[in-house]
Amino acid sequence: MSAGAKQPLLSFDEVYDENFDYVYRLVARLAGSMEAEDLAQEVFVVVCRRLDSFEGRADIKTWLFQIAYRVVGASIRKQRMRRLLALEVKAESNDLAIAIPRSLERAEQGRALAKALRKLSFNKRAVIILHDVEGWPCATIAERLGVPTNTIYTRLHHARKALAKAMRRAESLEGNAQ
Protein backbone atom coordinates (compact mmCIF):
# COMPACT_ATOMS: atom_id res chain seq x y z
CA MET A 1 0.00 0.00 0.00
CA SER A 2 1.31 3.47 -0.80
CA ALA A 3 1.87 6.00 1.94
CA GLY A 4 -1.28 7.97 1.01
CA ALA A 5 -3.62 4.95 0.75
CA LYS A 6 -5.95 4.35 3.65
CA GLN A 7 -6.32 1.05 5.46
CA PRO A 8 -9.81 -0.51 5.48
CA LEU A 9 -11.53 -0.27 8.85
CA LEU A 10 -12.71 -3.88 8.69
CA SER A 11 -11.57 -7.00 6.90
CA PHE A 12 -13.85 -8.62 4.36
CA ASP A 13 -13.93 -11.82 6.43
CA GLU A 14 -15.12 -9.88 9.50
CA VAL A 15 -17.86 -8.12 7.56
CA TYR A 16 -18.98 -11.37 5.91
CA ASP A 17 -18.97 -13.46 9.09
CA GLU A 18 -20.74 -10.85 11.21
CA ASN A 19 -23.33 -9.71 8.66
CA PHE A 20 -24.17 -12.53 6.25
CA ASP A 21 -27.32 -13.52 8.14
CA TYR A 22 -28.55 -9.90 8.15
CA VAL A 23 -27.90 -9.47 4.41
CA TYR A 24 -29.47 -12.85 3.61
CA ARG A 25 -32.62 -12.06 5.61
CA LEU A 26 -32.87 -8.64 4.00
CA VAL A 27 -32.54 -9.85 0.41
CA ALA A 28 -34.85 -12.80 1.10
CA ARG A 29 -37.59 -10.42 2.15
CA LEU A 30 -36.96 -7.94 -0.63
CA ALA A 31 -36.57 -10.40 -3.49
CA GLY A 32 -37.97 -13.70 -2.27
CA SER A 33 -36.23 -16.62 -0.66
CA MET A 34 -35.64 -18.45 -3.96
CA GLU A 35 -32.91 -15.99 -4.97
CA ALA A 36 -31.67 -14.96 -1.54
CA GLU A 37 -28.47 -17.01 -1.55
CA ASP A 38 -27.36 -15.74 -4.96
CA LEU A 39 -28.28 -12.13 -4.21
CA ALA A 40 -26.57 -12.21 -0.82
CA GLN A 41 -23.43 -13.43 -2.57
CA GLU A 42 -23.76 -10.62 -5.13
CA VAL A 43 -23.97 -8.14 -2.27
CA PHE A 44 -20.73 -9.48 -0.84
CA VAL A 45 -19.03 -9.33 -4.24
CA VAL A 46 -19.79 -5.60 -4.20
CA VAL A 47 -18.64 -5.39 -0.57
CA CYS A 48 -15.35 -7.06 -1.49
CA ARG A 49 -14.77 -4.55 -4.31
CA ARG A 50 -15.82 -1.50 -2.29
CA LEU A 51 -14.82 -2.26 1.30
CA ASP A 52 -11.89 0.12 1.10
CA SER A 53 -14.36 2.95 0.36
CA PHE A 54 -16.29 2.32 3.60
CA GLU A 55 -15.23 5.16 5.88
CA GLY A 56 -17.04 4.13 9.05
CA ARG A 57 -19.12 7.32 9.28
CA ALA A 58 -22.30 5.21 9.30
CA ASP A 59 -23.06 1.83 10.78
CA ILE A 60 -21.84 -1.07 8.63
CA LYS A 61 -25.43 -2.37 8.44
CA THR A 62 -26.54 0.92 6.88
CA TRP A 63 -23.85 0.60 4.23
CA LEU A 64 -24.72 -3.07 3.63
CA PHE A 65 -28.41 -2.22 3.38
CA GLN A 66 -27.73 0.35 0.68
CA ILE A 67 -25.70 -2.17 -1.32
CA ALA A 68 -28.33 -4.89 -0.85
CA TYR A 69 -31.11 -2.49 -1.85
CA ARG A 70 -29.31 -1.65 -5.10
CA VAL A 71 -28.38 -5.27 -5.89
CA VAL A 72 -31.95 -6.50 -5.34
CA GLY A 73 -33.38 -3.58 -7.31
CA ALA A 74 -31.09 -4.35 -10.25
CA SER A 75 -32.03 -8.03 -10.10
CA ILE A 76 -35.73 -7.24 -10.05
CA ARG A 77 -35.42 -4.91 -13.01
CA LYS A 78 -33.46 -7.52 -15.00
CA GLN A 79 -35.73 -10.49 -14.29
CA ARG A 80 -39.16 -8.92 -13.88
CA MET A 81 -40.75 -10.27 -17.05
CA ARG A 82 -39.45 -13.81 -16.53
CA ARG A 83 -40.77 -13.88 -12.96
CA LEU A 84 -44.18 -12.55 -13.94
CA LEU A 85 -44.59 -15.23 -16.57
CA ALA A 86 -43.53 -17.96 -14.15
CA LEU A 87 -45.92 -16.66 -11.49
CA GLU A 88 -48.83 -16.63 -13.92
CA VAL A 89 -48.20 -20.26 -14.87
CA LYS A 90 -47.99 -21.21 -11.18
CA ALA A 91 -51.16 -19.26 -10.35
CA GLU A 92 -53.09 -21.01 -13.13
CA SER A 93 -52.06 -24.43 -11.82
CA ASN A 94 -53.11 -23.43 -8.28
CA ASP A 95 -56.57 -22.45 -9.57
CA LEU A 96 -57.26 -26.06 -10.57
CA ALA A 97 -57.80 -27.16 -6.96
CA ILE A 98 -61.43 -28.10 -6.29
CA ALA A 99 -61.65 -28.27 -2.50
CA ILE A 100 -59.24 -26.45 -0.21
CA PRO A 101 -58.94 -27.59 3.41
CA ARG A 102 -58.46 -24.89 6.05
CA SER A 103 -54.64 -25.16 6.21
CA LEU A 104 -54.42 -24.97 2.43
CA GLU A 105 -56.73 -21.96 2.51
CA ARG A 106 -54.21 -20.15 4.74
CA ALA A 107 -51.43 -21.17 2.36
CA GLU A 108 -53.48 -19.73 -0.51
CA GLN A 109 -53.89 -16.47 1.42
CA GLY A 110 -50.13 -16.44 1.93
CA ARG A 111 -49.58 -16.94 -1.80
CA ALA A 112 -52.07 -14.16 -2.55
CA LEU A 113 -50.22 -11.84 -0.18
CA ALA A 114 -46.86 -12.77 -1.70
CA LYS A 115 -48.26 -12.19 -5.19
CA ALA A 116 -49.69 -8.82 -4.11
CA LEU A 117 -46.32 -7.85 -2.59
CA ARG A 118 -44.54 -8.76 -5.83
CA LYS A 119 -46.91 -6.49 -7.76
CA LEU A 120 -45.90 -3.49 -5.65
CA SER A 121 -43.11 -1.29 -6.97
CA PHE A 122 -39.74 -2.20 -5.53
CA ASN A 123 -39.68 1.05 -3.49
CA LYS A 124 -43.09 0.40 -1.90
CA ARG A 125 -42.27 -3.27 -1.26
CA ALA A 126 -39.00 -2.32 0.40
CA VAL A 127 -40.72 0.20 2.69
CA ILE A 128 -43.53 -2.13 3.75
CA ILE A 129 -41.12 -5.00 4.43
CA LEU A 130 -38.69 -2.83 6.36
CA HIS A 131 -41.43 -1.17 8.40
CA ASP A 132 -44.10 -3.83 8.90
CA VAL A 133 -41.93 -6.96 8.87
CA GLU A 134 -38.53 -5.80 10.11
CA GLY A 135 -39.99 -3.17 12.44
CA TRP A 136 -37.82 -0.28 11.30
CA PRO A 137 -39.06 3.24 12.10
CA CYS A 138 -39.91 5.40 9.07
CA ALA A 139 -37.14 7.88 9.93
CA THR A 140 -34.53 5.11 9.80
CA ILE A 141 -35.86 3.82 6.48
CA ALA A 142 -35.78 7.34 5.07
CA GLU A 143 -32.20 7.83 6.20
CA ARG A 144 -31.02 4.54 4.75
CA LEU A 145 -32.81 5.03 1.44
CA GLY A 146 -31.76 8.65 1.22
CA VAL A 147 -35.28 10.03 0.79
CA PRO A 148 -37.44 12.36 2.91
CA THR A 149 -39.32 10.77 5.80
CA ASN A 150 -42.65 11.96 4.35
CA THR A 151 -41.85 10.00 1.17
CA ILE A 152 -41.57 6.86 3.30
CA TYR A 153 -44.92 7.56 4.96
CA THR A 154 -46.50 8.08 1.52
CA ARG A 155 -45.00 4.87 0.11
CA LEU A 156 -46.12 2.95 3.19
CA HIS A 157 -49.66 4.33 2.92
CA HIS A 158 -49.95 3.47 -0.78
CA ALA A 159 -48.35 0.04 -0.30
CA ARG A 160 -50.80 -0.88 2.46
CA LYS A 161 -53.72 0.41 0.42
CA ALA A 162 -52.63 -1.61 -2.63
CA LEU A 163 -52.13 -4.75 -0.53
CA ALA A 164 -55.56 -4.40 1.08
CA LYS A 165 -57.17 -3.95 -2.34
CA ALA A 166 -55.33 -6.95 -3.77
CA MET A 167 -56.34 -9.13 -0.81
CA ARG A 168 -60.00 -8.07 -1.09
CA ARG A 169 -59.87 -8.85 -4.81
CA ALA A 170 -58.28 -12.26 -4.15
CA GLU A 171 -60.98 -13.03 -1.58
CA SER A 172 -63.78 -12.01 -3.96
CA LEU A 173 -62.27 -14.07 -6.78
CA GLU A 174 -62.00 -17.04 -4.44
CA GLY A 175 -65.60 -16.54 -3.36
CA ASN A 176 -66.79 -16.38 -6.98
CA ALA A 177 -64.86 -19.55 -7.85
CA GLN A 178 -66.65 -21.58 -5.17
pLDDT in tens, 139-167: 889 988 899 999 999 998 998 888 888 87
Question: Among the CATH numbers 3.40.50.300, 3.90.1150.10, 3.10.129.10, 1.10.10.10, which is that of 97-178?
Answer: 1.10.10.10
Mean pLDDT over 87-101 rounds to: 47
CATH 1.10.10.10 domain locations along the chain: 97-178
- Ranges 26-35, 40-49, 72-81, most confident: 40-49
How many CB atoms sit inside 10 A of residue 97's CB? Answer: 11
CA distance 108 to 51: 42
CATH class of domain segment(s) 1-87: mainly alpha
CATH 1.10.1740.10 domain locations along the chain: 1-87
CA distance 30 to 45: 18
Q: Is 10 exposed, middle or buried (0-12, 13-18, 19+ CB in 10 A)?
A: middle
The pLDDT assigned to 100 comes to: 43
User: Does residue 129 contact residue 74 with C-beta atoms inside 8 Å?
Assistant: no
Mean pLDDT over 6-14 rounds to: 74
